[in-house]
């Protein structure tokens, strides 16, 4: 039986996220985008933590909010209506490896980072390298086993929360000759000797999400910080990306698209001279197309989330959702700009920001070419 009525709990979380967006995110989003405030992060992150929005997917027994993936997707859409980068930060994406592969002791020690409402922390998913992006299996950061420690050396780039994280999940190879079977995941706290954070990226959009370089020079960590077994890192990364492609990308795309659609609709219905033009099919049909694709993408996000919550194999569906919802977000934002016209091209109007933010969704969490590749392999392998 299919039922689209949200549970009481889901409705409460949706309402809470909507209120948080109106009160806390919308007033800041424009300023952050334009670089008018630099030090916004910790106060806002603190407020997200207080509301349980930073630890949504972490079970209550570890101090988190204990939301399933579907409820997280509903919340993330609402936050992304206010700001895509902030919504992305709230997904706590970087703790997913720990949730998937962590031991009980590791979870107890490290999940507490973001669940600490007084002193919240962020984490980072450090997979990408200058020469290992789409080809994630080409990771060349090394992990040398010495006694009861590993010694890590290498450079990670385009790392979200790169300069803010208190914990990094670093993917490194213990034996390059083994290819992907040498890749291993490690939990690396930010205060270890030899870890340094390089410059932040100066990006086209998504300014509220910090992206940077992380360098590891003879970083020594205890064996207990290895996540999973040696050689399991690549599969852990792929499983993590399956979740992120839906929650941190698909749901963010639906939120950004909704914001663009709502901005265009508001403009077209507010002024009487514009209202007369809005009735023309050349305009109103675009509105119908925009809403149809937002609704379709949301259904894909919800279905993928539901599949993962029910432990169904969701690799293909997650990749379909990723490229469809992110292509949709950019198209809807662009259409919104076109409908509003020259006003939308101005920097004091939000639509140009939505276009810049939506563009990143086609690139991060695996480019849309990679998502199409993963989905098509899934289709052909039955
Ligand atoms: N869950 C579990 N295992 C998975 C998996 C998943 N979702 N996806 C792949 N694997 C396993 C495969 O089963 C295979 O294992 P076996 O060799 O034991 O059969 C192994 O991982 C290798 O998979 P595959 O053959 O598909 O690897 P490829 O090198 O051909 O392709 C791609 C890997 C390109 C899909 C991968 O490198 C990728 O996703 N790249 C993009 C990286 C990315 O998204 N980066 C963004 C970083 S965060 S912004």
Q: Which string of DSSP letters, residue by residue, matches 161-219? A: TTTTEEEEEEEEES-GGGGGGGEEEEEEETTSTTEEEEEEP--SS-TTS-EEEEEEEEE
Q: Is 2 helix (H, G, I), strand (E, B) or coil?
A: coil
Whether 2 maps to a domain, the answer reads: no
Whether 99 maps to a domain, the answer reads: yes
Angle at which helices 251-270 and 69-82 pack, to 10 degrees? 40
Asked whether 121 lines ligand 1 (CB < 6 A), one says no
Asked whether 234 lines ligand 1 (CB < 6 A), one says yes
Q: Looking at the structure, do residues 195 and 308 belong to the same domain, yes or no?
A: no
Q: Looking at the structure, do residues 267 and 342 belong to the same domain, yes or no?
A: yes
Q: Looking at the structure, do residues 135 and 32 belong to the same domain, yes or no?
A: no
Whether 37 maps to a domain, the answer reads: yes
Mean local confidence (pLDDT), 225-239: 97
Q: Which domain holds residue 22?
A: 8-113
DSSP 229: S
Whether 368 maps to a domain, the answer reads: yes
Question: What is the best residue among 136, 141, 213, 252 to mutate for testing ligand 1's pocket, by most ligand atoms within 8 Å of CB?
Answer: 136
| CATH classification of the domain holding 182 | 2.40.110.10
Q: Looking at the structure, do residues 76 and 178 belong to the same domain, yes or no?
A: no
H or E segment to which residue 298 belongs? helix 281-309
Q: Looking at the structure, do residues 258 and 215 belong to the same domain, yes or no?
A: no
**What's the farthest any 2 CA atoms get from each other in the chain?**
76
Q: Looking at the structure, do residues 50 and 175 belong to the same domain, yes or no?
A: no
- Region of poorest pLDDT, from 13-17, 93-97, 225-229: 93-97
Distance CA 72, CA 242 (A): 15
Closest residue by Cα to atom 16, ligand 1, is 235
- Write out pLDDT tens, residues 193-216: 999 998 889 999 999 999 999 999
Residues 51, 54, 59, 64, Cα dihedral to 10°: -50
Of all atoms in ligand 1, which is nearest to the CA of residue 137? 37
Question: What's the domain count of the chain?
Answer: 3
Please, which residues bridge with residue 212 across strands?
159, 200
Q: What is the pLDDT of residue 117?
A: 77
Greater confidence (323 vs 89) lies with 323
| CATH classification of the domain holding 83 | 1.10.540.10
- Write out pLDDT tens, residues 310-321: 999 999 999 999
Q: Choose the final residue of a domain: 83, 113, 143.
A: 113
Tokens (6 digits) for 316: 């293909």
Q: Looking at the structure, do residues 265 and 343 belong to the same domain, yes or no?
A: yes
Q: Looking at the structure, do residues 244 and 367 belong to the same domain, yes or no?
A: yes
Asked whether 242 lines ligand 1 (CB < 6 A), one says yes
Of all atoms in ligand 1, which is nearest to the CA of residue 241? 44
197 alpha carbon, distance to own chain's centre: 20
Question: What is the best residue among 181, 235, 236, 314 to mutate for testing ligand 1's pocket, by most ligand atoms within 8 Å of CB?
Answer: 235
Q: Choose the final residue of a domain: 178, 203, 231.
A: 231
Do residues 153 and 193 lie in contact, with contact meaning Cβ atoms separated by under 8 Å? Answer: no
Asked whether 241 lines ligand 1 (CB < 6 A), one says yes
Q: Looking at the structure, do residues 212 and 280 belong to the same domain, yes or no?
A: no
Whether 269 maps to a domain, the answer reads: yes
**Annotated catalytic residue within 24, 77, 78, 365:** 365
User: Taking the model in full, what pTM does it have?
Assistant: 0.96
Residues 258, 264, 267, 272, Cα dihedral to 10°: -120
Residue the block writes with tokens 């909010």: 65
Q: Looking at the structure, do residues 269 and 354 belong to the same domain, yes or no?
A: yes
Average pLDDT, the chain: 94
Asked whether 137 lines ligand 1 (CB < 6 A), one says yes
Q: Looking at the structure, do residues 222 and 247 belong to the same domain, yes or no?
A: no
N- to C-terminal Cα separation, the chain? 25
Whether 63 maps to a domain, the answer reads: yes
- Which of 119, 59, 123 lies closest to 94, judged by CA? 123
Residue 234 alpha carbon to ligand 1 centre in Å:
7
| CATH classification of the domain holding 292 | 1.20.140.10
Closest residue by Cα to atom 10, ligand 1, is 235
Would residue 365 show up in a list of annotated catalytic residues for this protein? yes
Asked whether 136 lines ligand 1 (CB < 6 A), one says yes
Q: What is the pLDDT of residue 1?
A: 64
């Amino acid at each position: 039986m299919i039922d689209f009525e949200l549970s009481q709990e889901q409705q409460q979380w949706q309402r809470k996220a909507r209120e948080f967006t109106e009160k806390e995110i919308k007033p800041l989003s424009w300023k952050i985008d334009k670089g008018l405030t630099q030090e916004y992060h910790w106060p806002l992150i603190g407020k997200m933590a207080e509301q349980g929005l930073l630890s949504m997917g972490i079970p209550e027994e570890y101090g988190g909010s204990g939301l399933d993936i579907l409820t997280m997707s509903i919340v993330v859409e609402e936050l992304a209506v206010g700001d895509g980068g902030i919504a992305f930060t709230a997904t706590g994406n970087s703790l997913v490896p720990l949730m998937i592969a962590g031991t009980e002791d590791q979870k107890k020690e490290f999940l507490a980072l973001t669940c600490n409402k007084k002193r919240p922390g962020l984490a980072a998913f450090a997979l990408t390298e200058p020469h290992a992006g789409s080809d994630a299996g080409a990771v060349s950061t090394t992990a040398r086993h010495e006694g009861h420690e590993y010694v890590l050396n290498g450079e990670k780039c385009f790392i979200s929360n790169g300069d803010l994280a208190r914990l990094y999940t670093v993917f490194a190879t213990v034996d390059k000759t083994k290819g992907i079977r040498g890749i291993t995941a490690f939990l690396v706290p930010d205060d270890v000797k030899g870890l340094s954070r390089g410059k932040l990226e100066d990006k086209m959009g998504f300014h509220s999400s910090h992206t940077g370089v992380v360098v590891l020079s003879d970083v020594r960590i205890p064996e207990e910080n290895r996540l999973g077994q040696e050689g399991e890192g690549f599969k852990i990364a792929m499983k993590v990306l399956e979740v992120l492609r839906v929650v941190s990308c698909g749901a963010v795309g639906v939120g950004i698209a909704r914001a663009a659609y709502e901005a265009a609709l508001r403009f077209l219905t507010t002024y009487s001279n514009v209202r007369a033009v809005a009735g023309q099919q050349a305009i109103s049909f675009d509105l119908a197309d925009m809403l149809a694709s937002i609704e379709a993408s949301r259904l894909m996000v919800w279905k993928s989330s539901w599949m993962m919550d029910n432990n169904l194999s969701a690799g293909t569906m997650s990749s379909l959702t990723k490229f469809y919802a992110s292509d949709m977000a950019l198209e809807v934002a662009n259409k919104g700009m076109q409908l509003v016209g020259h006003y939308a091209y101005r920097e004091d109007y939000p639509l140009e920001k939505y276009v810049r933010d939506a563009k990143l969704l086609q690139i991060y969490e695996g480019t849309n070419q990679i998502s199409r590749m993963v989905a098509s392999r899934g289709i052909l392998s039955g």
